[in-house]
Structure 1
Amino acid sequence: MPRAFYTDYPWPDVEIEREILAEADCTLDVSPDNREETLADRVGDADVILTCWAPVTARVIDAAPNCRHICRTGIGLDNIDVRHATSKGIVVTNVPDYCIEEVAEHALAMIFALGRKIADGHLATKRGHYSLVGCLPIERIGGKTLGLVGTGRIGQRLAKKAQAVGMRVIGTNRSGAAPEGVAWRPLEELLGESDYVSLNCPLTEETRDLINPDTLARMKPSAFLVNTSRGGLVDHDALARALEGGRLAGAALDVQDTEPPDLARPPYNDPRVIVTPHTAFVSTEAITELRTRVARQAVAFLGGHAPEQVVNPEALPGGMRENHG
């Protein structure tokens, strides 16, 4: 009987996954925590690993000699050693085309919360201070420039939403070609031109600490930073110093490095910084879709079929590779 091992998950239970995996007579065990040493100790004879944010490192992979499939319950792959998995003949899958609407909505909501001082006004009134003057300056969102660092699925959806409320949208990416309706700029020019900078790119060795003292210095003192992608894209100490020095108007952070962060220290305790607990990807609809599709990927693989969204098709067994689209 095949066995699946769940490293971690941010939802209340695993009943959706357990029910679907049962179709392949596959049992499901859950790790008591997401530490690397625990995962390496508990993964054992698992045929499939399901993982959200936990570190599926070479050590964890080597501790699972029967594993032939790692399912990422999400988009990014920075928590999985894909190269090592591939070398061991382990197929890796993810779900890159879910929660696009949710993240774009969250990023736009953060833009409004920052520019219209919604969070500031809310906190002030809850503390007993009812002052219009205390919330100033408040700026019109329409007519402002939004700079997208990354113009993939989420960036494109955010661009359309921002344009619908009257924002001008520019973007940068590795290809040098922005989607229709978005003016492409090199990163340095985009940072200097934007009133809002939204990070929508993956975390890689090249993009780690993309927002650092040098790039922050290129932004307008009146500009805002929005990050709904990966915490590691931002040097948070540098962000704190920029805010303290008045070189940035504020930031909205849904993702941190590490999570949860120390909320008692800058930049998280700065009143100009909005912090949400990694909820940009969340909706009832998106989570149900994600969990269902990941479990279906595992069932397909266990049944001898190529699952959807294979990251490393070279790791597929021969028969599956021939039928892989």
Structure 2
Amino acid sequence: MQIVVGLGPVESDVVQPVLGDAMKFVEHPTDADIAEASGAIVRAAFVFDEAQFAKMPNLRVLARTGVGTDLVDLNVAEERGIDVVITPGSNTNAVAEGALAHALHLTKRLGPLTKLVANGNWDQRTKYPVGDFESKTFGIVGFGRIGRRVAELAKAFGMKVLAYDPFALIPEDQRASSIEELVAASDVISLHVPLTEATNQLVNADLLAQFKPGAVLINCGRGALIDLDAAHDALRSGKLGGLGLDVFDPEPPAHHQIFEHENVVLTPHVMGLSVQSTKQTFIDAAQGVRDSLEGRKPQALAKK
């Protein structure tokens, strides 16, 4: 019987039925289990470096819960012929809902209004004008699976959708010719692009200067997409009306002064970890492991 280990919290009762009777899943592996394992289901925060590979001489496949592989040494995996499975799509809806939740929280001023009621300052309720989604423009940077789902949800609120992605097909009536055009026209901007050399600090002081005054910015992509110092200046000046962050650089983040601003909402990289999406991620990861160990090509493999 082949051993598959969980590295990071992985629910045995979810993955074992997918792996089948010929594989044994070990939720809390010992060093001996790790050394024997043919497969591993690995949580996104787990570092799978050269030293970890060295502990697993029998490893043939590892499956990440998510799509990020920056914590995996893909060079070692390639040298040893080890499949690195990823699980795109399992959390698409969860992340999209999370982006909308951040945007609604900020547009409807839920944070400061909660404090106002809790502190007995009812007479100050007009100090925080409540915004609207209907007839406003939702700008989406990155039009992959998550970006497209965000567009569907935004349109359900009666919003106009504008999207920018030089590598994706976008309906003509939703396509922005540049990111500058998008931010100048959008009331809410949501980031859904990978972190690359080109997108590192994509939202900087120069781009923020072109934002529509009072726009809300949401980042459920990668933390380094935004220059937080520049974003803080934009919040203080009123150029930026609100900022929602589910991702940080690094994670967990050092404290930043922007965290104290009343028009900021923060979540610890959990918008993609809803109950439903987490279960589906485990199922997809287990299926990828089983496919690989049984000689089939997994549905999604990481690329260097």
The CA distance in 1 between the partners of 2:168 and 2:98, in whole Å, is: 26
Cα offset, 1:164, TM superposition: 2.3
Q: Does 1:308 align with 2:299?
A: yes
Q: Does 1:133 align with 2:131?
A: no
* 1:24–1:302 Cα contact (<8 Å) kept: no
Query: Residues 213-232 of structure 1 correspond to what in structure 2 (within 5 A)?
Result: 213-232=205-224
The one-letter code matched in structure 2 to 1:135 is Y
Q: Does 1:75 align with 2:73?
A: no
Q: Does 1:152 align with 2:152?
A: no
Cα offset, 1:42, TM superposition: 9.6
1:36 aligned partner: none
The CA distance in 1 between the partners of 2:171 and 2:38, in whole Å, is: 41
SS in 2 for 1:92: strand
| Number of aligned positions between the proteins | 302
* 1:159–1:182 Cα contact (<8 Å) kept: no
Shift in alpha-carbon separation, 1:19–1:161, aligned structure 2, 3 A: closer
Please list the CA deviations of residues 127-166 of structure 1 after superposition, one character each: whole Å capped at 9, or x if unmatched.
3322322212x32221222111100111111112212222
The one-letter code matched in structure 2 to 1:302 is L
Shift in alpha-carbon separation, 1:174–1:7, aligned structure 2, 3 A: farther
Cα offset, 1:308, TM superposition: 2.2
The CA distance in 2 between the partners of 1:210 and 1:84, in whole Å, is: 31
Query: Residues 181-200 of structure 1 correspond to what in structure 2 (within 5 A)?
Result: 181-200=173-192
Cα offset, 1:22, TM superposition: 6.2
Equivalent of residue 50 in structure 1, options 41, 45, 52: 41
Percent identity of paired positions between Structure 1 and Structure 2? 31
Please list the CA deviations of residues 167-226 of structure 1 after superposition, one character each: whole Å capped at 9, or x if unmatched.
111111122642465223311221222221101112233323222233223223311110
Equivalent of residue 202 in structure 2, options 210, 216, 241: 210
2:251 aligned partner: 259
2:6 aligned partner: 6
- After alignment, is 141-150 or 97-106 more displaced? 97-106
The CA distance in 2 between the partners of 1:275 and 1:309, in whole Å, is: 31
Please list the CA deviations of residues 259-315 of structure 1 after superposition, one character each: whole Å capped at 9, or x if unmatched.
3334x5322221110112323223332222211221122122222322222235x9x
Q: Which TM-score applies when normalising by structure 2?
A: 0.86
* 1:18–1:28 Cα contact (<8 Å) kept: no
- After alignment, is 16-25 or 188-197 more displaced? 16-25
Cα offset, 1:91, TM superposition: 1.0
Q: Does 1:235 align with 2:246?
A: no
RMSD over aligned CA atoms reads 2.8
- Unaligned segments of structure 2, at least 5 residues: none
Q: Which TM-score applies when normalising by structure 1?
A: 0.81
Shift in alpha-carbon separation, 1:164–1:19, aligned structure 2, 3 A: closer
The one-letter code matched in structure 2 to 1:88 is R
* 2:246–2:271 Cα contact (<8 Å) kept: yes
